[in-house]
Structure 1
Amino acid sequence: MRRCLPPLALCLAVPALVAAPPKAAPHGLDLAGMDRTVAPGDDFFAYANGAWVKRTEIPADRGSYGVGREVADLTDRRTAALIRGAAQAPAGSELRKVGDCYASFMDQKRIEARGLSPLGPTFKAIAAIQDRTQLARYLGSTLRADVDLLNATNYHTANFLGLWVAQDLDQPDQYAPFLVQGGLGLPERSYYLDPSEGMAAVRTQYTTHVAAMLKQAGLSGVLERATAVVDLETRMAKAHLGREESGDIPKGNNHWRRADFAAKAPGLDWEAFFAAAGLTKPSVFVVWQPGAVTGLSALTAEVPLSVWRDYLTFHAIQHAAPVLPKAVRDQSFAFYGKVLSGASQPRERWTVAVDLTNQALGEAVGKAYVAKYFPPSEKIRAERMVANIKDAFRVRIEHLDWMSPATKAKALAKLEALQVSVGYPDRWRDYRRLKIVPGDAFGNADRAERFEYARNLAKLGKPIDRTEWVMNPQLVNAVNLPVMNALNFPAAILQPPFFDPKRPMVMDYGAIGAVIGHEISHSFDDSGSLFDASGKLENWWTPEDLKHFQASADQLVKQFDAYEPFPGLHIKGKQTLGENIADVAGLAAAYDAYRLSLKGKEAPVVQGLTGDQQFFLSYAQSWREKTREPQLRQQILTDGHAPASFRPYTVRNLDAWYPAFGVKPGQKLYLAPADRVKIW
């Protein structure tokens, strides 16, 4: 393993370094992964991770790789072992369902033997579309609950429309059905509309891909058909709202009565659509992108039915590709893997099977995962850290000099009402009604989707369940649900190197502590701050306080707008604002919590590093990642998160970072005190 040791002069230039750092401890910071030739004040990501970046190759089957992926891969291997063992569970048990489901996805011989026959009923239904009402019925029958609106990266689904059943933004005591734009096979509208040479090349390759998939279905004249399909999607893209506009919550909160659809979005037979979708009872819907719904509806009346049939055929094959023969999977990878992410080979089949099983029976798998890998002691330790960071955030609110007492009271009430769930849900999901058939990969995936859709529809008319989880315990991630005023911290992210009982607690505060602070802060970012303690969309700010908050947010937008990953392609500060606010506020709260936990004492020097250095380096190394150019470009265009390599730059907004690393005026990341963003 290549090591990059620091020149003596640079060691001395960092004033708080006590001695030349020893080799990285197994449960400490990766000192060998640092690049001491880079000044911390010029590029803190490279300083913390530069040697690792130089020596690390992105796996051929990935568009990116980093510490998060390392932890996720370990979790997947553990999960796969548990799932394989479930094949020996008693017949009829929930665990046996898990084993049978996974085995069906791994049974490639049977998948090959069945060919495209599982899609036979779908192709027959598409061929039967001979009028606009039949088109509406088919589109309604394919509606799925596949969008979590306030946490989506793109605010659209590959289906014609997407459904999200969640707490109504105006009436937080009841669920509402949300409809969101959909229908695109490319990641975002700009992929269709951007006139640049690079995007034009992607569109050409996409058309070739659509043609190849239509050929798999046995159609002739596929290039002409594919061109028409891409033209239809281009017209859809023109109707779509962009990522930034879709993230404007007040503009998305549009309540339409059932009778409004025919007048506001003519073209689609809405009654036929809703009947086929099982949405006959709701009288009011929340239409997130009204212009898109109007535009998409018009296209159902304007575009020839033959084009719609080809479009639906392509999307049916593409959607089912993971459970279809190798020729289909390889073609899907040729475009979505190679072209859009830059990977050179498909993922191993077992990893895909784990993903599919997690999608179908996620909490059943999670129950087995936490029983083996998440001991009660770690849950208690994590809950203690959450409480400490929550307390630190409370203190920060109480000491804000720019916020009025009235707004502070509302903010503190919201913080107090925040529902925080650590590790796994208190009540596990019931999968008894999900039928799993051994050897039926396609059927199991399809029935799991329909089961999830029915589960979401069943929420309508019932009391709000604020304890519901939207992430599996075995997922390396975390989430804030602003509408529910709730947080989920899955068990899988609560493991080394993010959360490690064998290293100093200050390092945990810099890594998982910043994640916890980040998620808490989402309740007070540009989106979360729009909701009160009950989850109601309501302005609880005085005009003066809101003006100050927005001015600080604008300052952060400009900060990120200045970052330029590629010549001419900047990070979108407005699009990533919510995540950037949460990074700044969350890191600050985690820092305060680490300091408060020491009760006025200094943290011991470990690996030659002071407590503050341990904290900030842990944060920077928690964002360690390399990304291929195609995927990075896609992320910049579509994602609400800034690229990982830019997120450590958040440290430049915290005063304590400057003396910890001797950062001086003139260095690239230096900000004058007045320019450091301090929103919370």
Structure 2
Amino acid sequence: MRSVLIAALLASTVSPAIAQTQAPIDKAAVGPVKPNAKNGPEIGDFGFDMAGRDTSVKPGTDFFDYANGTWYKATTIPADRSTYGMFHVLQDRSLEQTRTILDEATKQPGNKAGDFYASFMDEAAVNAKGAAPVKPWLSAIRATKDRDALAIEMAKLQRQGVGAPFGAYVGQDDKAPDTYIVSFSQSGLGLPDRDYYLKDDAKLASVRTAYQAYLARMLTLAGEPNAEARAAAVFNFEKALANVHWTRVESRDADKTYNKWMAADFTAKAPGFPWAQYMQTLGVANRPAYLVAQPSAVTGEAKLYAETPLNVLQDYAMLKVLRSYASYLSSDFDKTNFAFYGTTLSGTPQQQPRWKRGVGLVSEGLGEEVGKQYVAKYFPPESKAAADALVKNLIAAMGDRLRNLEWMAPETKQKALAKLAAFTPKIGYPDKWKDYSGLTIQRGDLVGNVARANAFEFQRDLNKLGQPIDRGEWFMTPMTINAYANPPMNEIVFPAAILQPPFFDPKADPAVNYGGIGAVIGHEISHHFDDQGRKYDATGKLTDWWTARDVARFKTFTDALVKQYDAYEPLPGQHVQGELTLGENIADLAGLTVALDAYHKSLGGNPAPVIDGTTGDQRFYYGWAQVWRTKWREPALRQALLSDPHSPGHERVLTVRNLDPWYAAFKVQPTDKMALPPAQRVRIW
């Protein structure tokens, strides 16, 4: 589904084909975590790691450094990570928990999850096969006589998880949210973003050189001659694709990316690509209408397909196979793939243990089959009940904010409150689990298992066409450390695994919980009112329901927030992109605002207790800062700044400089570096 539809707390995880899960916990780096704590919180004395602060830094100089500085200086990024922080602590826990489930499942022949995991863990068998499992696909690509035949082969492979020039998926029609529709989008790049191909930057130029060497190495491993010249031709084709791609800022605009085409429009508006054969093979032919996210890019890609020599397109398709399935082939493919995508692109020196990669794979391929067991074992009913209550409190606080807004017209405000009242919160896990009975998993057939799992999910999506919208569907597994808002569904979703420390600890001080999971809940609620989410009404329909004056007022706030984040420079010469990160920055700002209101309301009119010399408001902001403890390797941070719609953790913590109560809580002075004059603080909700 389009990125504007699901706004997650973190960047989306990588696909199963190149999944890289997490490394062991560095207990010394994350502070006093006590996993078996019975009488108190797992972190610190009240839920926050006070020893991780750096009190030599004033809160108003840099609140991230003040709250997290000692943690940051003491933390070493594990060798198999590109970034490390509190999210990763939770991810490690989730992986360990899921591993216990899969280890037990492997002892039960015929258990799908166990057999899938065992097929990945049998490294000797995988190495013995080399590239043999994908040779039939490569041979079929080589055997194509024209572009029509190649498009058919690419469509077959796309159903099995291999990348293609066009993205295709089934989702809601944004302007008819009770209907499923097939959507197409630009795709086809091997590097993370068009800037990696086009931007005049020495660092990116070195990545481009390494990428061509990687492509050549993969062709050589597959037994192909003249690899360097062929890799260069494929790179040039991808660069041409990048040149017609929309930017990420353009692609997050819900209005601009809603373009309805009929089947005949593809041939008329995007000639040069065999759309009829491709759609027929993909299984999406003869639909009454389609959505196209980036029309000019689709047109440009089709033109390039027609103009590029067939042998280059064949090499491109073969490399898509090899890259998509490298992690499931022999170690020479796997290590080559990691050397580029893990080390060169993200700066990660060492690949993760095989068991962690296996857990990640099975968690993707059989997500709810494993999730059902995960919830039964690790998510007690009291955790769900506590989270349900928190969500209700945060929705109520958002309602109060909306009712008291001075800048919004009464008619818009009434519709906004109706939208809020129609919210569907989803907590922990789905009410109805997905059925995997039709999926065949065989021990000893890793590539076949991955291909069948991908095809199974692709067909599951196709089966939605013509059916009522499944409003109980989840797009994350219970084991996922993340959360999301989905405007066409008018829902907010919180998987079970994120409802643990440091986000939520029932034994921690409530202020820390409200600053952690409370702000996360507020973040997701407010995504429905960010610069894109606000365009969807109470039914989930993309429509213009604000007054023109309200839109103009809102834009004055968001323009100021863009300018504020544009000024941040996490790497020399590379700034945060305020336009790209706008939706997430709005959600952070609103989430913190609403969560503090909810915390204050939870006190029932009583003053917050003083704990270890800290006030309630201080502990609230500590909770927020602790969640975003993050340390990056330079290449990974560079990649995030170019392509991630989220600001880095350091800059997310600095959101507090817009909040009046933060100034009071920490006695921030007007002369402090982080201080903003009241007139420059961005206040939206």
How high is the TM-score relative to the length of structure 1?
Answer: 0.94
Contact 1:58 1:64 in 2 (8 A): yes
Q: Counterparts of 2:470 and 2:268 in 1: how far apart (Å)?
A: 34
Contact 1:145 1:165 in 2 (8 A): no
Contact 2:121 2:355 in 1 (8 A): yes
Contact 1:27 1:497 in 2 (8 A): no
Q: Give the residue type in structure 1 aligned to 2:100.
A: A
Matching of residue 118 in structure 1 with residue 101 in structure 2: no
- The DSSP-based 3-state class of the residue aligned with 1:172 is strand
Q: Which ranges of structure 1 fall in alignment gaps of 5 or more residues?
A: 6-22, 147-156
Matching of residue 42 in structure 1 with residue 61 in structure 2: yes
Q: Counterparts of 1:481 and 1:260 in 2: how far apart (Å)?
A: 29
How high is the TM-score relative to the length of structure 2?
Answer: 0.93
Q: Counterparts of 1:370 and 1:656 in 2: how far apart (Å)?
A: 38
- The DSSP-based 3-state class of the residue aligned with 1:210 is helix
Q: Deviations over 1:441-478 (max 9, x none)?
A: 11101100000100011111111112210000000000
Correspondence for 1:270: 275
Correspondence for 1:293: 298
Matching of residue 54 in structure 1 with residue 73 in structure 2: yes
Report 1:167-246 matches (<5 A).
167-246=172-251
Q: Counterparts of 2:612 and 2:29 in 1: how far apart (Å)?
A: 16
Contact 2:560 2:682 in 1 (8 A): yes
Contact 1:98 1:364 in 2 (8 A): yes
Q: Give the residue type in structure 2 aligned to 1:451.
A: F
1:577–1:145: structure 2 CA closer, same or farther, 3 Å change rule? farther
Contact 1:479 1:489 in 2 (8 A): yes
Matching of residue 384 in structure 1 with residue 384 in structure 2: no
Shift of 1:142: 3.0
Q: Deviations over 1:114-170 (max 9, x none)?
A: 111100210121012111210221222233598xxxxxxxxxx94321123111011
- The DSSP-based 3-state class of the residue aligned with 1:249 is coil
Report 1:112-191 matches (<5 A).
112-144=127-159, 158-191=163-196
Quick one: which of 23, 27, 49 aligns to 1:30?
49
Contact 1:145 1:452 in 2 (8 A): no
Q: Counterparts of 2:290 and 2:28 in 1: how far apart (Å)?
A: 58
Q: Deviations over 1:628-670 (max 9, x none)?
A: 0000000000010001111011111111100110101111111
Contact 2:165 2:187 in 1 (8 A): yes
- The DSSP-based 3-state class of the residue aligned with 2:96 is helix
1:606–1:3: structure 2 CA closer, same or farther, 3 Å change rule? farther
Correspondence for 2:106: 87
Shift of 1:280: 2.0
Matching of residue 569 in structure 1 with residue 574 in structure 2: yes
Q: Counterparts of 1:468 and 1:144 in 2: how far apart (Å)?
A: 21
Identity of paired residues, percent? 49
Q: Counterparts of 2:227 and 2:134 in 1: how far apart (Å)?
A: 19
Correspondence for 1:151: none
Contact 1:37 1:47 in 2 (8 A): yes
Quick one: which of 370, 374, 386 aligns to 2:375?
370
Contact 2:483 2:495 in 1 (8 A): yes
Correspondence for 2:11: none
Matching of residue 622 in structure 1 with residue 637 in structure 2: no
Quick one: which of 495, 507, 511 aligns to 2:512?
507
Shift of 1:608: 2.0
Correspondence for 1:537: 542
Q: Counterparts of 1:497 and 1:130 in 2: how far apart (Å)?
A: 57
Correspondence for 1:149: none
Matching of residue 435 in structure 1 with residue 440 in structure 2: yes
Contact 2:29 2:75 in 1 (8 A): no
Moved over 6 A (4+): 1-5
Q: Give the residue type in structure 2 aligned to 1:364.
A: E
- The DSSP-based 3-state class of the residue aligned with 2:134 is helix
- The DSSP-based 3-state class of the residue aligned with 1:489 is strand
Contact 1:143 1:160 in 2 (8 A): no
| 59-68 or 121-130: bigger deviation | 121-130
Contact 2:263 2:286 in 1 (8 A): no
Q: Counterparts of 2:145 and 2:46 in 1: how far apart (Å)?
A: 64
Contact 2:391 2:521 in 1 (8 A): yes
Quick one: which of 99, 103, 108 aligns to 2:118?
103
Q: Deviations over 1:186-224 (max 9, x none)?
A: 000010001222111110110000000000110011000
- The DSSP-based 3-state class of the residue aligned with 2:488 is coil
Shift of 1:2: 8.7
- The DSSP-based 3-state class of the residue aligned with 1:142 is helix
Matching of residue 676 in structure 1 with residue 652 in structure 2: no
Shift of 1:4: 14
Correspondence for 1:578: 583
Q: Counterparts of 2:503 and 2:441 in 1: how far apart (Å)?
A: 36
Shift of 1:26: 5.1
Q: Deviations over 1:372-413 (max 9, x none)?
A: 111000000000000000000000000001111100111001
Contact 1:162 1:182 in 2 (8 A): yes
Correspondence for 1:279: 284
1:539–1:419: structure 2 CA closer, same or farther, 3 Å change rule? same
